[in-house]
Structure 1
Amino acid sequence: MKNLSRRFLTAHTAALILSSSLLLTACATDPQSTALFDLGPLRAQTTLNAGAPLPAISVADIKAPSWLDSQAMFYRLNYANDLQPRPYSASKWTMAPAQLFLLRLKSRLSQAGGVVVPASDGAVNLPILRIEADDFSQGFDSAGQSSGNIAMRASVFDGRILRAQKMFVKQVPATSADAQGGAVALAAASDAIINEMAVWLATLPPKK
Protein backbone atom coordinates (compact mmCIF):
# COMPACT_ATOMS: atom_id res chain seq x y z
CA MET A 1 0.00 0.00 0.00
CA LYS A 2 2.84 2.38 0.87
CA ASN A 3 4.56 1.69 -2.44
CA LEU A 4 1.31 2.37 -4.27
CA SER A 5 0.86 5.68 -2.42
CA ARG A 6 4.41 6.71 -3.23
CA ARG A 7 3.92 5.90 -6.89
CA PHE A 8 0.73 7.94 -6.93
CA LEU A 9 2.42 10.92 -5.27
CA THR A 10 5.38 10.70 -7.63
CA ALA A 11 3.16 10.59 -10.69
CA HIS A 12 1.02 13.43 -9.33
CA THR A 13 4.09 15.58 -8.63
CA ALA A 14 5.50 14.92 -12.09
CA ALA A 15 2.17 15.93 -13.64
CA LEU A 16 2.16 19.19 -11.69
CA ILE A 17 5.73 20.00 -12.75
CA LEU A 18 4.92 19.26 -16.38
CA SER A 19 1.78 21.43 -16.23
CA SER A 20 3.74 24.31 -14.66
CA SER A 21 6.46 24.04 -17.32
CA LEU A 22 3.92 24.12 -20.13
CA LEU A 23 2.23 27.15 -18.56
CA LEU A 24 5.52 29.02 -18.24
CA THR A 25 6.44 28.14 -21.83
CA ALA A 26 3.08 29.39 -23.08
CA CYS A 27 3.51 32.69 -21.21
CA ALA A 28 7.03 33.14 -22.54
CA THR A 29 5.93 32.66 -26.13
CA ASP A 30 2.64 34.55 -25.86
CA PRO A 31 2.79 37.33 -28.53
CA GLN A 32 0.60 39.48 -26.31
CA SER A 33 3.54 39.79 -23.89
CA THR A 34 5.51 41.81 -26.49
CA ALA A 35 5.41 45.58 -25.93
CA LEU A 36 4.76 47.58 -29.11
CA PHE A 37 5.94 51.16 -29.62
CA ASP A 38 5.54 53.89 -32.24
CA LEU A 39 6.40 57.61 -32.35
CA GLY A 40 3.24 58.67 -30.53
CA PRO A 41 0.23 60.69 -31.70
CA LEU A 42 0.64 63.76 -33.87
CA ARG A 43 -0.02 66.78 -31.66
CA ALA A 44 -2.56 69.19 -33.13
CA GLN A 45 -0.77 72.27 -31.79
CA THR A 46 2.73 71.20 -32.80
CA THR A 47 4.16 73.47 -35.51
CA LEU A 48 7.31 73.41 -37.57
CA ASN A 49 9.74 76.31 -37.42
CA ALA A 50 10.36 76.41 -41.13
CA GLY A 51 10.18 80.20 -41.41
CA ALA A 52 9.60 80.39 -45.16
CA PRO A 53 6.69 78.53 -46.80
CA LEU A 54 7.32 74.86 -47.47
CA PRO A 55 7.62 73.88 -51.14
CA ALA A 56 5.41 71.22 -52.70
CA ILE A 57 7.47 68.05 -52.74
CA SER A 58 7.31 64.40 -53.70
CA VAL A 59 8.57 62.06 -50.96
CA ALA A 60 10.06 58.66 -51.77
CA ASP A 61 10.17 55.65 -49.45
CA ILE A 62 13.07 55.78 -47.02
CA LYS A 63 15.93 53.39 -47.68
CA ALA A 64 17.33 51.59 -44.65
CA PRO A 65 20.00 48.92 -44.09
CA SER A 66 18.72 45.36 -43.68
CA TRP A 67 19.22 45.34 -39.89
CA LEU A 68 16.82 48.31 -39.59
CA ASP A 69 14.30 46.95 -42.07
CA SER A 70 12.12 45.19 -39.49
CA GLN A 71 10.05 45.85 -36.37
CA ALA A 72 13.00 45.08 -34.10
CA MET A 73 14.04 47.77 -31.58
CA PHE A 74 17.84 47.92 -31.52
CA TYR A 75 20.25 49.16 -28.87
CA ARG A 76 24.03 49.31 -28.55
CA LEU A 77 26.13 48.87 -25.43
CA ASN A 78 28.68 51.57 -26.25
CA TYR A 79 30.64 50.79 -23.09
CA ALA A 80 31.00 47.11 -24.08
CA ASN A 81 30.82 46.74 -27.88
CA ASP A 82 29.39 49.61 -29.92
CA LEU A 83 29.88 47.61 -33.11
CA GLN A 84 27.07 45.21 -32.22
CA PRO A 85 23.41 46.29 -32.56
CA ARG A 86 21.25 44.14 -30.30
CA PRO A 87 17.45 43.72 -30.55
CA TYR A 88 15.20 43.91 -27.50
CA SER A 89 13.59 40.50 -26.97
CA ALA A 90 10.22 41.67 -25.61
CA SER A 91 9.79 45.08 -27.29
CA LYS A 92 9.18 45.95 -30.96
CA TRP A 93 8.12 48.84 -33.18
CA THR A 94 4.65 48.65 -34.69
CA MET A 95 6.36 48.77 -38.08
CA ALA A 96 9.89 49.27 -39.38
CA PRO A 97 11.33 52.56 -37.98
CA ALA A 98 11.92 53.98 -41.47
CA GLN A 99 8.19 53.60 -42.16
CA LEU A 100 7.30 55.21 -38.83
CA PHE A 101 9.58 58.15 -39.60
CA LEU A 102 8.20 58.52 -43.13
CA LEU A 103 4.59 58.65 -41.92
CA ARG A 104 5.57 61.20 -39.26
CA LEU A 105 7.45 63.32 -41.81
CA LYS A 106 4.56 63.43 -44.28
CA SER A 107 2.00 64.21 -41.58
CA ARG A 108 4.01 67.01 -40.01
CA LEU A 109 4.94 68.64 -43.32
CA SER A 110 1.27 68.56 -44.35
CA GLN A 111 0.26 69.90 -40.94
CA ALA A 112 2.63 72.83 -41.46
CA GLY A 113 0.99 73.73 -44.76
CA GLY A 114 3.23 71.84 -47.14
CA VAL A 115 2.02 69.83 -50.13
CA VAL A 116 3.32 66.26 -49.91
CA VAL A 117 2.87 63.72 -52.71
CA PRO A 118 4.17 60.12 -52.71
CA ALA A 119 6.91 59.62 -55.30
CA SER A 120 5.01 56.56 -56.56
CA ASP A 121 2.29 58.89 -57.86
CA GLY A 122 4.72 60.12 -60.51
CA ALA A 123 4.36 63.89 -60.10
CA VAL A 124 7.16 64.77 -62.53
CA ASN A 125 6.86 68.51 -61.96
CA LEU A 126 7.76 68.25 -58.25
CA PRO A 127 11.20 67.83 -56.66
CA ILE A 128 11.74 64.45 -55.02
CA LEU A 129 12.94 64.07 -51.44
CA ARG A 130 14.91 60.85 -50.95
CA ILE A 131 16.09 59.80 -47.49
CA GLU A 132 18.55 57.11 -46.43
CA ALA A 133 18.54 56.00 -42.79
CA ASP A 134 21.93 55.12 -41.32
CA ASP A 135 20.92 54.74 -37.66
CA PHE A 136 17.75 54.55 -35.58
CA SER A 137 18.71 52.96 -32.29
CA GLN A 138 19.23 53.44 -28.56
CA GLY A 139 22.80 53.78 -27.36
CA PHE A 140 23.92 52.98 -23.79
CA ASP A 141 26.99 54.86 -22.55
CA SER A 142 26.59 53.01 -19.24
CA ALA A 143 24.11 50.53 -17.77
CA GLY A 144 21.91 53.38 -16.53
CA GLN A 145 22.46 56.10 -19.15
CA SER A 146 21.24 55.95 -22.75
CA SER A 147 20.04 58.09 -25.64
CA GLY A 148 18.04 57.82 -28.84
CA ASN A 149 20.28 58.17 -31.91
CA ILE A 150 19.13 58.92 -35.45
CA ALA A 151 21.26 59.56 -38.54
CA MET A 152 19.66 60.25 -41.93
CA ARG A 153 20.89 61.59 -45.23
CA ALA A 154 18.36 63.61 -47.24
CA SER A 155 18.69 64.43 -50.94
CA VAL A 156 16.46 66.59 -53.14
CA PHE A 157 16.36 65.72 -56.84
CA ASP A 158 14.91 67.49 -59.86
CA GLY A 159 14.40 64.45 -62.01
CA ARG A 160 17.86 62.86 -62.00
CA ILE A 161 19.66 66.08 -61.10
CA LEU A 162 20.77 66.40 -57.49
CA ARG A 163 19.79 69.85 -56.22
CA ALA A 164 20.83 69.56 -52.57
CA GLN A 165 21.91 67.03 -49.95
CA LYS A 166 22.32 67.21 -46.18
CA MET A 167 23.11 64.86 -43.29
CA PHE A 168 20.87 65.02 -40.22
CA VAL A 169 22.13 63.55 -36.94
CA LYS A 170 20.33 63.85 -33.62
CA GLN A 171 20.95 62.40 -30.16
CA VAL A 172 18.34 62.81 -27.40
CA PRO A 173 18.91 61.55 -23.82
CA ALA A 174 16.50 58.86 -22.63
CA THR A 175 14.68 59.30 -19.34
CA SER A 176 14.95 55.59 -18.54
CA ALA A 177 17.41 52.86 -19.47
CA ASP A 178 14.90 50.56 -21.14
CA ALA A 179 12.93 50.12 -24.37
CA GLN A 180 10.26 52.64 -23.37
CA GLY A 181 12.86 55.28 -22.59
CA GLY A 182 14.51 54.58 -25.93
CA ALA A 183 11.20 54.88 -27.80
CA VAL A 184 10.44 58.25 -26.18
CA ALA A 185 13.93 59.55 -26.97
CA LEU A 186 13.76 58.34 -30.58
CA ALA A 187 10.34 59.97 -31.02
CA ALA A 188 11.77 63.28 -29.79
CA ALA A 189 14.82 62.88 -32.04
CA SER A 190 12.53 62.16 -35.01
CA ASP A 191 10.51 65.33 -34.43
CA ALA A 192 13.70 67.38 -34.06
CA ILE A 193 15.13 66.05 -37.35
CA ILE A 194 11.81 66.61 -39.15
CA ASN A 195 11.83 70.22 -37.97
CA GLU A 196 15.41 70.66 -39.24
CA MET A 197 14.45 69.07 -42.56
CA ALA A 198 11.52 71.47 -42.91
CA VAL A 199 13.80 74.47 -42.33
CA TRP A 200 16.26 73.08 -44.89
CA LEU A 201 13.55 72.43 -47.49
CA ALA A 202 12.04 75.91 -47.00
CA THR A 203 15.39 77.60 -47.61
CA LEU A 204 16.37 75.67 -50.75
CA PRO A 205 16.59 77.81 -53.90
CA PRO A 206 13.65 77.31 -56.29
CA LYS A 207 13.90 74.93 -59.21
CA LYS A 208 15.61 76.52 -62.22
Structure 2
Amino acid sequence: MKQPDFAINLIAVGAGYARARALFFVNFLAATTLLLTLGGCGALPDKPVRAAMYDFGPGPLSTPATTRQAPLSPLALDEVKTAGGALDNLAVLYRLGYSNDQQLRPYALARWSMPPAQLLGQRARDKLGQRRVVFKAGEGLALSRSQGSLLLRLDLEEFSHFFEAPDKSVGLVRLRATVLEITPAGEKLLAQRKVIVQRPAPSADAPGGVRALTAATDAALEEIEQWLQQVQSAR
Protein backbone atom coordinates (compact mmCIF):
# COMPACT_ATOMS: atom_id res chain seq x y z
CA MET A 1 0.00 0.00 0.00
CA LYS A 2 1.33 3.41 -0.93
CA GLN A 3 2.65 5.46 2.02
CA PRO A 4 1.10 8.91 2.53
CA ASP A 5 3.26 11.82 1.50
CA PHE A 6 3.57 13.12 5.05
CA ALA A 7 4.84 9.71 6.22
CA ILE A 8 7.46 9.64 3.51
CA ASN A 9 8.57 13.13 4.56
CA LEU A 10 8.83 12.04 8.19
CA ILE A 11 10.96 9.06 7.20
CA ALA A 12 13.25 11.32 5.13
CA VAL A 13 13.59 13.81 7.95
CA GLY A 14 14.38 11.02 10.41
CA ALA A 15 17.05 9.60 8.10
CA GLY A 16 18.59 13.03 7.63
CA TYR A 17 18.64 13.59 11.38
CA ALA A 18 20.30 10.23 11.92
CA ARG A 19 22.99 11.02 9.34
CA ALA A 20 23.62 14.47 10.88
CA ARG A 21 23.86 12.93 14.35
CA ALA A 22 26.29 10.30 13.13
CA LEU A 23 28.41 12.96 11.41
CA PHE A 24 28.43 15.06 14.57
CA PHE A 25 29.74 12.15 16.65
CA VAL A 26 32.41 11.36 14.06
CA ASN A 27 33.63 14.97 14.08
CA PHE A 28 33.44 15.08 17.87
CA LEU A 29 35.56 11.96 18.19
CA ALA A 30 38.10 13.32 15.69
CA ALA A 31 38.36 16.64 17.55
CA THR A 32 38.69 14.86 20.91
CA THR A 33 41.42 12.60 19.56
CA LEU A 34 43.32 15.62 18.19
CA LEU A 35 43.14 17.45 21.53
CA LEU A 36 44.32 14.39 23.44
CA THR A 37 47.20 13.96 20.99
CA LEU A 38 48.26 17.60 21.38
CA GLY A 39 47.98 17.27 25.15
CA GLY A 40 50.23 14.24 25.11
CA CYS A 41 52.82 16.15 23.06
CA GLY A 42 52.83 19.18 25.34
CA ALA A 43 50.22 21.06 23.30
CA LEU A 44 51.41 23.78 20.96
CA PRO A 45 55.15 24.60 21.20
CA ASP A 46 56.16 27.62 23.28
CA LYS A 47 58.21 30.44 21.86
CA PRO A 48 61.95 29.59 21.94
CA VAL A 49 63.68 30.91 25.06
CA ARG A 50 66.56 33.25 24.25
CA ALA A 51 69.87 32.88 26.04
CA ALA A 52 70.73 35.64 28.52
CA MET A 53 73.61 37.86 27.36
CA TYR A 54 76.38 38.82 29.84
CA ASP A 55 79.48 41.00 29.97
CA PHE A 56 81.61 42.54 32.76
CA GLY A 57 79.22 45.42 33.36
CA PRO A 58 79.24 49.04 32.20
CA GLY A 59 82.71 49.85 33.54
CA PRO A 60 83.47 53.20 35.23
CA LEU A 61 80.41 55.45 35.46
CA SER A 62 82.43 58.60 36.08
CA THR A 63 85.90 59.95 35.37
CA PRO A 64 88.37 58.71 38.02
CA ALA A 65 89.70 61.39 40.34
CA THR A 66 93.13 62.74 39.39
CA THR A 67 95.92 61.63 41.73
CA ARG A 68 99.28 63.26 42.44
CA GLN A 69 101.12 60.07 41.59
CA ALA A 70 103.46 60.28 38.64
CA PRO A 71 102.05 58.66 35.50
CA LEU A 72 103.45 55.28 34.63
CA SER A 73 105.16 54.39 31.39
CA PRO A 74 102.92 54.01 28.33
CA LEU A 75 101.70 50.47 27.84
CA ALA A 76 101.08 48.69 24.55
CA LEU A 77 98.48 45.97 25.07
CA ASP A 78 98.64 43.06 22.68
CA GLU A 79 95.52 41.12 21.67
CA VAL A 80 94.66 38.60 24.37
CA LYS A 81 95.37 35.06 23.19
CA THR A 82 93.82 31.72 24.15
CA ALA A 83 94.74 28.12 23.59
CA GLY A 84 91.77 27.89 21.24
CA GLY A 85 88.75 25.67 21.44
CA ALA A 86 86.17 26.31 24.14
CA LEU A 87 87.36 29.82 25.04
CA ASP A 88 87.00 31.11 21.49
CA ASN A 89 83.21 31.20 21.54
CA LEU A 90 80.45 32.90 23.55
CA ALA A 91 79.57 30.04 25.92
CA VAL A 92 79.57 30.62 29.69
CA LEU A 93 81.47 27.54 30.87
CA TYR A 94 81.54 25.59 34.12
CA ARG A 95 83.40 22.58 35.53
CA LEU A 96 82.27 20.05 38.11
CA GLY A 97 85.43 19.57 40.14
CA TYR A 98 83.82 16.93 42.34
CA SER A 99 82.69 14.85 39.34
CA ASN A 100 84.80 15.30 36.20
CA ASP A 101 86.99 18.39 36.31
CA GLN A 102 88.38 17.68 32.84
CA GLN A 103 85.04 18.38 31.17
CA LEU A 104 84.01 21.91 30.28
CA ARG A 105 80.24 22.29 30.15
CA PRO A 106 78.32 25.25 28.67
CA TYR A 107 75.31 26.78 30.36
CA ALA A 108 72.39 26.24 27.99
CA LEU A 109 70.78 29.68 28.34
CA ALA A 110 73.76 31.98 29.00
CA ARG A 111 76.14 33.66 26.57
CA TRP A 112 78.92 36.25 26.76
CA SER A 113 78.45 39.32 24.58
CA MET A 114 81.85 38.59 23.01
CA PRO A 115 84.49 35.86 23.47
CA PRO A 116 86.15 35.95 26.93
CA ALA A 117 89.53 37.01 25.52
CA GLN A 118 87.97 40.12 23.98
CA LEU A 119 86.10 40.92 27.19
CA LEU A 120 89.36 40.58 29.11
CA GLY A 121 91.22 42.84 26.68
CA GLN A 122 88.52 45.49 26.96
CA ARG A 123 88.58 45.30 30.76
CA ALA A 124 92.38 45.47 30.81
CA ARG A 125 92.37 48.71 28.80
CA ASP A 126 89.90 50.24 31.25
CA LYS A 127 91.71 49.11 34.41
CA LEU A 128 95.33 49.57 33.34
CA GLY A 129 94.60 52.89 31.63
CA GLN A 130 93.70 54.70 34.85
CA ARG A 131 97.30 55.82 35.50
CA ARG A 132 99.00 55.32 32.17
CA VAL A 133 98.46 55.62 28.43
CA VAL A 134 97.27 52.28 27.06
CA PHE A 135 97.07 51.60 23.34
CA LYS A 136 96.84 48.59 21.10
CA ALA A 137 100.11 46.95 20.13
CA GLY A 138 101.29 48.37 16.80
CA GLU A 139 99.53 51.73 17.24
CA GLY A 140 101.69 54.81 17.79
CA LEU A 141 104.81 52.69 17.33
CA ALA A 142 107.23 55.58 16.81
CA LEU A 143 105.98 57.35 19.96
CA SER A 144 106.15 54.21 22.07
CA ARG A 145 109.71 53.43 21.00
CA SER A 146 110.94 56.93 21.68
CA GLN A 147 109.55 56.75 25.22
CA GLY A 148 110.65 53.18 25.96
CA SER A 149 107.12 51.96 26.70
CA LEU A 150 106.13 48.49 27.82
CA LEU A 151 104.36 45.78 25.87
CA LEU A 152 102.00 43.49 27.76
CA ARG A 153 100.89 40.14 26.39
CA LEU A 154 98.16 38.12 28.10
CA ASP A 155 97.35 34.48 27.46
CA LEU A 156 94.01 33.33 28.86
CA GLU A 157 94.31 29.70 29.97
CA GLU A 158 91.24 29.17 32.18
CA PHE A 159 87.98 31.05 32.47
CA SER A 160 85.25 28.97 34.07
CA HIS A 161 82.72 28.68 36.86
CA PHE A 162 84.37 25.95 38.93
CA PHE A 163 82.27 23.84 41.30
CA GLU A 164 84.26 22.39 44.20
CA ALA A 165 80.98 20.89 45.49
CA PRO A 166 77.34 21.21 44.43
CA ASP A 167 76.87 24.10 46.87
CA LYS A 168 80.35 25.67 46.66
CA SER A 169 81.76 27.28 43.51
CA VAL A 170 84.16 29.98 42.34
CA GLY A 171 84.97 31.99 39.27
CA LEU A 172 88.40 30.74 38.16
CA VAL A 173 90.70 32.83 35.97
CA ARG A 174 94.20 31.75 35.00
CA LEU A 175 96.47 33.98 32.91
CA ARG A 176 100.06 34.04 31.72
CA ALA A 177 101.34 37.61 31.60
CA THR A 178 104.47 38.62 29.68
CA VAL A 179 105.93 42.13 29.75
CA LEU A 180 108.49 43.38 27.24
CA GLU A 181 110.22 46.70 26.70
CA ILE A 182 109.80 48.27 23.27
CA THR A 183 113.09 49.72 22.06
CA PRO A 184 114.34 51.03 18.70
CA ALA A 185 116.18 47.73 18.36
CA GLY A 186 113.07 45.62 18.99
CA GLU A 187 111.35 43.94 21.92
CA LYS A 188 113.24 43.04 25.09
CA LEU A 189 111.79 40.49 27.51
CA LEU A 190 111.57 41.90 31.03
CA ALA A 191 109.45 39.44 33.02
CA GLN A 192 106.75 36.78 32.89
CA ARG A 193 104.41 35.34 35.52
CA LYS A 194 101.33 33.22 36.07
CA VAL A 195 98.26 34.84 37.58
CA ILE A 196 95.64 32.55 39.12
CA VAL A 197 92.64 34.08 40.87
CA GLN A 198 89.48 32.62 42.37
CA ARG A 199 86.45 34.51 43.64
CA PRO A 200 83.40 32.91 45.30
CA ALA A 201 80.19 32.68 43.30
CA PRO A 202 77.07 34.07 45.03
CA SER A 203 74.88 31.37 43.46
CA ALA A 204 75.29 27.99 41.78
CA ASP A 205 74.06 29.10 38.36
CA ALA A 206 75.10 31.13 35.33
CA PRO A 207 74.43 34.59 36.89
CA GLY A 208 76.48 33.59 39.94
CA GLY A 209 79.29 32.31 37.74
CA VAL A 210 79.34 35.52 35.70
CA ARG A 211 79.59 37.65 38.84
CA ALA A 212 82.39 35.50 40.20
CA LEU A 213 84.32 35.59 36.91
CA THR A 214 83.96 39.37 36.71
CA ALA A 215 85.34 39.76 40.24
CA ALA A 216 88.17 37.31 39.51
CA THR A 217 89.08 39.16 36.30
CA ASP A 218 89.25 42.51 38.10
CA ALA A 219 91.39 41.00 40.86
CA ALA A 220 93.74 39.44 38.29
CA LEU A 221 94.16 42.76 36.50
CA GLU A 222 94.85 44.51 39.80
CA GLU A 223 97.57 41.95 40.50
CA ILE A 224 99.03 42.52 37.04
CA GLU A 225 98.99 46.31 37.58
CA GLN A 226 100.98 45.97 40.82
CA TRP A 227 103.41 43.64 39.08
CA LEU A 228 103.88 46.04 36.17
CA GLN A 229 104.78 48.81 38.58
CA GLN A 230 107.40 46.56 40.17
CA VAL A 231 108.81 45.71 36.76
CA GLN A 232 108.95 49.39 35.82
CA SER A 233 110.73 50.28 39.07
CA ALA A 234 113.33 47.60 38.46
CA ARG A 235 114.23 48.82 34.95
Q: TM-score, normalised by structure 2?
A: 0.76
Unaligned runs of 5+ in 2: 1-21
Q: Note if 1:186 corresponds to 2:204.
A: no
User: CA separation in 2, counterparts of 1:191 and 1:19?
Assistant: 45
Q: Note if 1:161 corresponds to 2:180.
A: no
Q: Secondary structure at the match of 2:194?
A: strand
Q: Note if 1:65 corresponds to 2:88.
A: no
2:229 aligned to 196, 202, 205, which one?
202
Residue identity (%): 33
Q: Give the deviation of 1:4 after TM superposition.
A: 4.0
Q: Note if 1:172 corresponds to 2:210.
A: no
2:53 aligned to 15, 31, 36, which one?
36
Which residue of structure 2 aligns with residue 114 of structure 1? 132
Tell me, yes or no, if the aligned pair for 1:52 and 1:203 is still in contact at 8 Å. Answer: no
1:79 aligned to 87, 98, 103, which one?
98
Unaligned runs of 5+ in 1: none
Structure with max Cα Rg: 2
Residues 3-18 of structure 1: pairs in structure 2 closer than 5 A: 3-11=26-34, 13-14=36-37
Q: Give the deviation of 1:186 after TM superposition.
A: 0.8
Of structures 1 and 2, the one scoring higher in RCO (CA 8 A, sep 6+) is 1
Which residue of structure 2 aligns with residue 138 of structure 1? 161
1:47-98 C-alpha deviation (Å, 9 max, x unpaired): 8xxx874321110000012210111111000000001111111101111111
Q: Secondary structure at the match of 1:177?
A: coil
Q: Assess, with a 3 A threshold, how the Cα gap between structure 1 residues 168 and 6 changes in structure 2: closer, same or farther.
A: same
Q: Assess, with a 3 A threshold, how the Cα gap between structure 1 residues 18 and 120 changes in structure 2: closer, same or farther.
A: farther
Tell me, yes or no, if the aligned pair for 1:59 and 1:119 is still in contact at 8 Å. Answer: yes
Tell me, yes or no, if the aligned pair for 1:172 and 1:186 is still in contact at 8 Å. Answer: yes
Tell me, yes or no, if the aligned pair for 1:37 and 1:92 is still in contact at 8 Å. Answer: yes
Q: Give the deviation of 1:206 after TM superposition.
A: 6.3
Q: Secondary structure at the match of 2:121?
A: helix
User: CA separation in 2, counterparts of 1:178 and 1:46?
Assistant: 33
Q: Give the deviation of 1:121 after TM superposition.
A: 1.7
User: CA separation in 1, counterparts of 2:230 and 2:216?
Assistant: 21
Name the stretch that deviates more: 63-72 or 156-165.
156-165
Q: Secondary structure at the match of 2:152?
A: strand
User: CA separation in 1, counterparts of 2:163 and 2:42?
Assistant: 39
Which residue of structure 1 aligns with residue 11 of structure 2? none
Residue type of the partner of 1:99? Q
How many residues align? The count is 198
Q: Secondary structure at the match of 1:166?
A: strand
1:166-199 C-alpha deviation (Å, 9 max, x unpaired): 1111000111011111111111111111111111
User: CA separation in 1, counterparts of 2:35 and 2:98?
Assistant: 50
Q: Assess, with a 3 A threshold, how the Cα gap between structure 1 residues 12 and 140 changes in structure 2: closer, same or farther.
A: closer
User: CA separation in 2, counterparts of 1:201 and 1:95?
Assistant: 27
Residue type of the partner of 1:121? E
User: CA separation in 2, counterparts of 1:84 and 1:8?
Assistant: 49
Q: Assess, with a 3 A threshold, how the Cα gap between structure 1 residues 148 and 52 changes in structure 2: closer, same or farther.
A: farther
Cα RMSD for the two superposed structures: 2.5
Q: Note if 1:128 corresponds to 2:135.
A: no
